[in-house]
Amino acid sequence: MGPISVISKNETEILLSWSAISGVSAGNSPVTAYNLYWDNNSGDVTIKVYSGLATNFTVEGMTGGLIY
């Protein structure tokens, strides 16, 4: 998965987008899923928030004023 871009954001959600990969970038194998993880800043826990073939995802349930 290439760099992730923020497409839009507000107090409760953020829309992320990335470019599809293929060929050598994908190890010359078909892509079966893009996995997106959230680091909750606790130092040892990451949470999978998305797994699929779409190249964008909206992370919902955020709270304004917090660092993610």
The three-class DSSP label of residue 63 is: coil
What pLDDT score does 53 carry? 93
Question: Does residue 2 surpass a pLDDT of 70?
Answer: no
Q: Which of 13, 6, 21, 15 is nearest to 57 (CA)?
A: 15
Amino acid at 32: T
Q: Cβ(10)–Cβ(54) under 8 Å?
A: no
Residue whose pair of structure tokens reads 């107090």 in the numeric block: 11
pLDDT digits (tens, 9 = 90+) for 3-47: 889 999 999 999 999 988 888 877 788 888 999 988 767 777 788
